[in-house]
Structure 1
Amino acid sequence: MSVSELLTQIALLGIAIGANGLSALAGGGAGLVQLPALILLGLPFAMALATHKVASVALGLGATGRHWRASSLDLKRSAVVLGAGLPGVCLGASMVLALPDQAATASLGLLTLGLGVYSARKPDLGTMDKPRPLTASTVGVGACGLFIIGILNGSLTSGTGLFVTLWLVRWFGLSYARAVAHTLVLVGLGWNGMGALVLGLSGEIRWDWLPALVLGSLIGGFLGAHYSLVKGSRLVKRSFEILALLMGGSLLIRCL
């Protein structure tokens, strides 16, 4: 391995730990850091996207161990997240390469900024765990929202975990800490695993970069999940808002 290749691997490890640690703490957003970094390191968009999707599954694995031990998941709501979101992910991933990159990035930036502003304007949102009863209307509307977010996850790819976190807080009544647990495990493993499969079958993956990215995702996912459980919902809420504002702004700047 040459010096430049070694430095690239070290950079990939550091990027993955940082991006996935923040994502595991805030409930999404790893792709807003990791995907642009892969592109800046020289990968074309399609290859960077497929490589990121495969590596992001490790974020779910890293977070699952910590949240599973803490019994953070609700099985009925988990079933809704997977059942409604996975078809959307498949649809979005199958049409991603046909989307104009600049327009998609700008739209995602505006949406992400909006999430951060909305959460910041509601200081008590998600600080208490008050699950809404799973009536037919609650599940129906909730599933429609998750299906739409799934399409965004498969196509726009970056930061849509933040959307799932806020939807679980706003519509299903979960605290930020519990919503983040569901997002990391179900989106990280289920949604991103499906997206990785669809994109992997139709695109190229930079396999020699995956070990560093996967290791960094595992470490970052575990550390972020640990601190989200230890510090509670208020820190998670503030981290969510800061990351949403920063990443939304960075996406808009990329479009200029």
Structure 2
Amino acid sequence: MKFIIAFFLVGSFTAANSQDLKVFWEKNDLGYTLFAKNDEYCPVSISLDLNITNIVFSEGDKKIFIVPPKAEKFQIGKLALIPGKGGNFSYKYKSVLGDITKAEYEKDKGYDLPFQKGRSFNVFQGYNGSFSHQNENSIDFTMPEGTEVLAARDGMVIKVVQNNTQSCAEKECKKYNNFILVYHPDGTFAEYVHLKFNSSKVKPGDAIKVGTLLGLSGNTGWSTGPHLHFVCFIPGFDKRNTVQTKFKTNTGTSLEYLVEKKTYLKEY
């Protein structure tokens, strides 16, 4: 019995969607078993490209696998050698935070405005804005540096980046964005971006409620002035799909999509 084994990790990821995941194998009585270890606090999706010769894969042609949060040894499948023949296998994979098999999300979910009661802020760039929101459903609130940023929805904190101090008006400065990434119960994510240096009040693994103090607004990364960038998205292997969200405005009894150049008061 002879096995030849090779594996590759493929795909490139930004700081916001990179993940702490490992695919590995162990020998069993009939061949090998593929496992995945997920150190993230949310599911991670894997796209597996398996190349086998004289080997049977227990999962057939299946290519997409969803690894649960904090899974130490999630079984992807078994590789069994065809008797009397030498076999070999190789694999490569790409992965992304979240469960890409979730086809539906809560489109009419009401999000809280991400700031304190009694405050009002202007939306200076809205969905598909001309400066940096082309083909992106995201919102920019003009907001003085140091303003308290609150969770717009219940969720789980997945990533916190708060070590950057630089900013500039060029896209190249996006790598200096300070942000907090939150995973929602319906499988969507929200990012709160351009936060102040070392201002986060939460950490990965924190289960948060709507209204939880996340951190302070700032002017870091790809930014021309102090503001809060908020975006909600569905994960994908090639790109994330940003979605428009309805916010509770005024007293919180009505829901609406926020409009560019309009100021919104939070009275709840």
Same fold (TM over 0.5): no
Which structure carries more strand by proportion? Answer: 2
Which structure carries more helix by proportion? Answer: 1
CA radius of gyration, larger in = 2
* Coarse TM-score class (shorter-chain normalised): under 0.3
| Structure possessing the higher relative contact order (Cα contacts under 8 Å, 6 or more residues apart) | 1
Give the TM-score, by structure 2 length. Answer: 0.27
